[in-house]
Structure 1
Amino acid sequence: MDRDFIKEIISLVKGSDIKSLSIETEGLRIHIETYQKEYPQRAEVHREIKHVEILPPSEEATQEKHLHVIKSPLVGTFYRSPSPGAPPFVEVDDIVSPGQVLCIIEALKVMNEIESDVRGRVVKILVENGETVEYGQPLFLIDTSV
C-alpha cells in the first residue's frame, strides 16, 4: 500500500461524515478516526483527522495468505461425488494434490471434473451438493501451508 493511497483515504474521510474507518488489505491494517472542529462565529464545521494508526497484519490476515481458493471455471450444478450415493471426492481436512478431482460441475448435461491446482488441506467446502454455481464462485478453501 503506497503513501498516495493512504493520503487519498485520509482526504476522503476528512471530507465526509465518517467518524471512524478501518481498512485491512494485503496484510496491512489502517484505522482512521476523526473529530469535528466547530467555529460558531462562522457557523462552519471542519472535520479533522484525530488519529491514524497503521497496524501490523493480524494473525487472521497472515493465515489467509496460506489459503488458496478453488473457483468455479463455469456455470453449472455442483456435485461433491461422482454419482448419487457414492462417497464425496473430498472432505474437510483431506490432503489434496494437484490434479486430484475435488468435485463435478454439470453444465449442459456434461460432467466437468474440477481438479485441485495446489497441494494442501481442504479447510472449507463453500458450496452445498446440488447447488447452482456461477463462473468464478469460490468452491473450496485449501490451506497450502501443510
Structure 2
Amino acid sequence: METREIQKLIDFIAQSGLDEVNIETTDLKIKVKRYGSAPAASPTSVPAAVTAAPTTAPPVPTTAVTHSAQTEPTAQAESGSSNLITIKSPMIGTFYRASSPDTPAFVSIGDEIKPGKVVCVIEAMKLFNEIESEISGKIVKVLVENATPVEFDQPLFIVEPA
C-alpha cells in the first residue's frame, strides 16, 4: 500500500465518523483509533511509522499506522561526483524536527544516523508520521525549517553515507 493510499484511507475514515477501524492483510496491519491511547499493531519490518496525536501540537503519539514498504525517503544521491544522499519527504505535511516543542531535535548537523533512526516527524491531517532513516551516515545539512510545510519528495536532509 502506497503512502497516498494510506492518506486516502485516513481521509475516508475521518469523513465517515467511525471511531475505530482495523484492517489486516498479509503485508499490512492498520489500526486507526480516533479517540484512544493504545498503540496499534506493527509489522515485522518497519521503515516508517504513521502516528496520530491530539490536535494541539506534536506531543506523544496515540495511534500508529505502519507499513512495511511505505516510504523511500533516502533514495537519491546528489548530482555530480558528490556521494551525498538526500533524505526526502515521503508525503505532504508539516515538518517537525522534534516530537514536541520541549524535546530536543531527533537529529542535528553532525549527528550519526543508522537505518531505523527517526530523523523527523511530518504531520498530515492530524497524524504525526515518524520518518526513519534508511541509510547510515552523518547529517551534513538540514534543508527545512521546523514547523514549515513540505511537499511530497521535497529534500529534508543531506547525509554523508558511512
Same fold? TM cut 0.5: yes
Richer in strand (by share): 1
How do 1:72-87 residues align onto structure 2 when only pairs under 5 Å count? 72-87=89-104
Q: 2:80 aligns with which of 61, 64, 67?
A: 61
What is the TM-score of this pair, normalised by structure 1? 0.56
In 1, the alpha carbon distance for the partners of 2:127 and 2:94 equals: 10
Say which SS state the counterpart of residue 81 (structure 1) adopts.
coil
Identity in percent: 50
How do 1:89-100 residues align onto structure 2 when only pairs under 5 Å count? 89-100=106-117
Q: What do the CA deviations read for 1:50-89 (whole angstroms, capped 9, x no partner)?
A: xxxxxxxxxx932x2x211110000000000011111000
Moved over 6 A (4+): none
Give the aligned CA root-mean-square deviation in angstroms.
Answer: 1.2
Provide structure 1 residue ranges, at least 5 long, that are not aligned to the other structure.
Answer: 1-59
Q: 2:105 aligns with which of 75, 88, 99?
A: 88
Provide structure 2 residue ranges, at least 5 long, that are not aligned to the other structure.
Answer: 1-78
| Aligned positions, number | 84
Which residue of 2 is the match for residue 106 of structure 1? 123
Q: Is 1:135 equivalent to 2:159 in the alignment?
A: no
In 2, the alpha carbon distance for the partners of 1:90 and 1:71 equals: 15
Q: What do the CA deviations read for 1:72-110 (whole angstroms, capped 9, x no partner)?
A: 000000000011111000000000000100000000000
